[in-house]
Structure formats: C-alpha cells, structure tokens
Amino acid sequence: MSEDVYTGGCRCGAVRYEITGAVRCPCFCHCASCRRAAGATPVAWGTFARLALRITHGTLSEYRSSPQVWRGFCVRCGGSLTYRHEARAAEIDVTLATLDDPALIAPRMHVWVAERLPWVSIADGLPQHSAGPPST
C-alpha cells in the first residue's frame, strides 16, 4: 500500500516541499494569530507528522510568533507555509492552500470559532469548535 504524497510551495516558487502520509485534522482556523500571520481569515491547515515534511527546494524560514509557536514562511515572497507548536513536537501544520492541488484535502471542521471576525459567516455545515480541535 502506498502512502499519500503531496507537493506544494510558496507563491514565488523559492520554497518547495513534499509531504508524505496521512493528514490529520484538516481545518479552517479562525484565531487571531493565524489571521495576522497569513493576512486571511480563515486559514486552512492540515496536520502531518513533522518528519514527513521535506523541503525539496529553497529554505523554509521560521519565526517565533508566540512563546511555543514557530511559523514557517518564504523569505522572498512572505508566503505562509507551516505552523509548529512545541507541545506537539512530532507534528507540523501545513497551509492547505499552498498544496499544488489544494482540492485534494478539504477542511473537515472550523476551529477557534470564538475568535472569528463578526463579518465571517460559517454556513458550510462543518463542525465548529470554540477553541482548538478536539483531541484524537
């Protein structure tokens, strides 16, 4: 049985990645931190095993956006690519819109809905969680 393999990268192409394996918790995040980091609301994320992510071209730059969080981006175009939290050291979240074929992984829930902007309407019927995703 073969594993799923996804490829993607930033807007300008300076950073390319490949990620292998199953996605966990594909979601729309409405938190203020993601909103500011990506300049969008909501931001679609998919969680993968951290070791499954391989940068195939360029260098993923990172900055600490809060005490336990590192966000990965392209230093050339500023494209938001990854999120990793020290409490989940074995995992990394990838922005689903940066996949070469973003239609392959659809979000299955909304998280941090308590922080959504008042002009954002959620009418897709997906589960909504006031804070983060439920533990699995």
Distance CA 13, CA 45 (A): 20
pLDDT tens digits, 66-94: 999 999 999 999 999 999 999 999 999 99
CA-angle at 49, arms to 44 and 55, nearest 5°? 80
Q: Is there a contact between 55 and 13 (Cβ–Cβ < 8 Å)?
A: no
pLDDT tens digits, 110-127: 999 999 999 999 999 999
Domains located in the chain, CATH noted:
5-24+39-104 (2.170.150.70)
- pTM flag (> 0.85): yes
pLDDT tens digits, 12-68: 999 999 999 999 999 999 999 999 999 899 999 999 999 999 999 999 999 999 999
Q: Residue 136: is its pLDDT beyond 60?
A: no
Going by C-alpha positions, the residue among 62, 73, 91 that lies closest to residue 11 is 73
Count other Cβ atoms within 10 Å, centred on residue 112: 23
